[in-house]
Amino acid sequence: MKQSRFLPVFAALVYAFLHVPLLILCAFSFNSSKFTIWEGFSLEWYRAMFNDAQLAEATWNSLVIALVSTFFATIIGTLCAYGLWKRNSKWLSGSLYLSLVTPEIVTGISLLALFQWIFRYWQVQLGMHTVILAHIAFAIAYVLLVVMARLRTAEPALEDAALDLGATEWQAFRLVTLPILKPGIAAAALLAFTVSFDDYVITSLVAGVDSETLPMVLYAMARRGANPVVSAISTVIFLGFGALILLSERMQKNT
């Protein structure tokens, strides 16, 4: 096939469009001035970032929430994917996929409505626990997506062979399917973690006063105006997430 020059050039432009804004942001986070004119290299904004107590607490909250919800969502989602793979349940898989396409704002307000309703009868408030519950709920669908994709490429005869050789259904799952599924589960966990860590819309609606997360702080700062500390935070997040994705790719390769 004759290749024209057009495609590679176009592709290069698109990649530039995708990556340059972020790279510029990273570059300017090292700018000694807070204006968008380069005035020299400086780590000033990173220092400010590390010294911000509110930021530190928000980051900690985000980490805790992400780790806890990833842990539960991965387990629940994996078991669910396996169960649905064995025999589908239209209402369950339909609901889970629906939750994936439901706009976040709708998910968020519906959860808020639920919690407010519950709090009328129980003496509880919005807080870390409501955020974690919300995160587990929406992360399950992501885990399901990834693990299901993996299961679809699996050979069903393998479990049959295990049963044939004397393994019970539970043993077949534990000894044959689960080990083979490991890379997919790891990738799903990583996805759940990044989705949880990065969430703003749902979190902002169901978080309490004591459970500010990093995206919430970032949002407030971004709204207030030009702030180079935001650039510094962005760079760190960008590098952090980038590293996680590289990790994910590595794990996917070890099939």
Q: Which two tokens stand for residue 150?
A: 């993996």
Residues 37-66 binding other proteins (CB under 8 A) are 37
Q: Is the CB of residue 33 less than 8 Å from the CB of residue 189?
A: no
Which one of the spans 47-55, 63-71, 88-96, 121-129 is the region binding other proteins (CB under 8 A)?
88-96
83 binds other proteins (CB under 8 A): yes
Which one of the spans 45-53, 69-77, 121-129 is the region binding other proteins (CB under 8 A)?
69-77
Neighbours of 214 (CB within 10 A): 24
The contact mask relative to other proteins for 102-141 (x = CB under 8 A, - = no) is xxxxxx-xxxxxx-xx---------------xx-xx--x-
Write down the least CB distance from residue 64 to other proteins, Å. Answer: 18
- The smaller minimum CB distance to other proteins, of residues 51 and 116, is found at 116
What are the φ/ψ torsions at residue 202 (nearest 5 degrees)?
A: -65, -45
Query: Between vectors from CA 132 to CA 131 and to CA 133, what angle results, nearest 5°?
Result: 90
Q: Is the CB of residue 139 less than 8 Å from the CB of residue 199?
A: no
Which one of the spans 45-53, 63-71, 92-100, 121-129 is the region binding other proteins (CB under 8 A)?
92-100
84 binds other proteins (CB under 8 A): yes
Binder of other proteins out of 32, 36, 51, 54 (CB under 8 A):
36
The contact mask relative to other proteins for 154-183 (x = CB under 8 A, - = no) is -x-xx-xxxxxxxxxxxx-x-xx--xx---
Residues 211-250 binding other proteins (CB under 8 A) are 215, 218-219, 222-223, 226, 230-231, 234, 237-238, 241-242, 244-245, 249
The contact mask relative to other proteins for 191-210 (x = CB under 8 A, - = no) is ---x--xx-xx---x-----
Binder of other proteins out of 5, 40, 53, 101 (CB under 8 A):
101
DSSP of 154-206, one letter per residue? S-THHHHHHHHTT--HHHHIIIIIHHHHHHHHHHHHHHHHHHHHH--HHHHHH
CA distance readout (Å), 80 to 18, 32, 69, 114, 167: 35, 51, 16, 24, 21
CA 172 – CA 184 distance, rounded (Å):
18
- The smaller minimum CB distance to other proteins, of residues 74 and 211, is found at 74
What are the φ/ψ torsions at residue 176 (nearest 5 degrees)?
A: -115, -60
